[in-house]
Amino acid sequence: MLVDDLVSCGAVKFGDFVLTSGKKSRYYVDIKKASSRPKILRRITSGFGERGIQCDKVAGVELGAVPLIVSYSLEYDKPFLIIRKGERDHGMKSPIEGDIAPGESVLLLEDVITSGGSVLRAIDMLEEAGAKVEAVLTVVDREEGGAERVSKRCAYHPLIRARELLARADME
């Protein structure tokens, strides 16, 4: 079970943390710790695939979503797009790596959603490029408002909710 995998590999940590959203938290979910393990990455990819979302391409925001989108791309034969967090001042200066054409449908993958800010920014960038975001799938929904914000823009599906993960972690 994916919840057990995340807990057993040490992806759930307790302490004092500041999240990307700026919020403070008593726990941190490090999906990179899990996605660097092939067995767990395959389980995440399978969970995303079970949602049956039809798309032309799969996308994600650097860095946490990169292993997720590459794994999905290889498993389901979908080209991928990497969305940069910040501006580039060299090369092509593109905020989206990979080819995207107007009208293409995109599945957006994320590791953890808290406020949904980075995902909403990614949706905006993809739509500005002419794409249609079919759905957002995340490994963990921290249940701190992001789901509500994202679901106003497109379909949204988490594999795990924070309450499930924390209940299992408390049993350890």
Tell me, what CATH number does 72's domain have? 3.40.50.2020
* pLDDT the model gives residue 85: 81
Q: How far apart are CA 106 and CA 127, in angstroms?
A: 10
The pTM (predicted TM-score) of the whole model is 0.93
* pLDDT the model gives residue 22: 83
Name the residue type at position 92: M
- Structurally, how many domains does the chain consist of? 1
Name the residue type at position 32: K
Name the residue type at position 3: V
* pLDDT the model gives residue 121: 95
Q: What share of the chain is helix, strand, coil (3-state, %, to 5)?
A: 35, 30, 35
Q: How far apart are CA 128 and CA 115, in angstroms?
A: 22
* pLDDT the model gives residue 20: 80
The residue ranges of the chain whose pLDDT is under 50 are: none
* pLDDT the model gives residue 141: 97
* pLDDT the model gives residue 35: 96
* pLDDT the model gives residue 60: 98
Which residue segment(s) compose the domain that 93 sits in?
Answer: 2-171
* pLDDT the model gives residue 89: 55
